Structure 1
Amino acid sequence: MTDTATVPAPPFLGQIITARLTEALAPTHLEVVNDSHHHAGHSGDDGTGESHWTVVVESPRFSGLSRVARQRLVNGALADLLATRIHALAIRARAPGE
């Protein structure tokens, strides 16, 4: 008898980014945009189609923080991915009401 069970595909990087930022920042708004197609063939394109990203995130955690401090929170949530799978990350981080 042959086992026909399939192994589920690993989540796309965008799903991982979304889950990490949701857990770390409890955002009231979150957009995760794959910009990799704009960089195909350029330096940093690893051929996966998941190397360049933009995140737009609104979170109460950002209230009273500088732009740099906000970006550090995002980078901290994604640190291992930035070291291995993300070549470029554009961040737009704001607090509610901004």
Structure 2
Amino acid sequence: MKYVFIEKHQAEFSIKAMCRVLRVARSGWYTWCQRRTRISTRQQFRQHCDSVVLAAFTRSKQRYGAPRLTDELRAQGYPFNVKTVAASLRRQGLRAKA
């Protein structure tokens, strides 16, 4: 919350002064700024997994659920777990047709 305030008002006041008034370390502010722009490894993996699962899901005409998609992806060389594929389907709001 304090970092968001600093971000909104950095054009009006110096970062040093705002950090002092809000009792926040300047190093914490700069670390927060760097962390916001960088994508974590987990997020990168999830994006990759989501794109692969979506492609397999559309190839199966939206009929395969997580277990069958996992088998198909493993045959293609992707070492995904059933729970990983199920979580990806949930994140994307995808459900197999009945």
- Give yes or no for TM over 0.5: no
**Greater RCO between the two (CA within 8 Å, min separation 6)?**
1
In terms of Rg, which structure is larger? Answer: 2
TM-score (norm. length: structure 2): 0.31
TM-score (norm. length: structure 1): 0.31
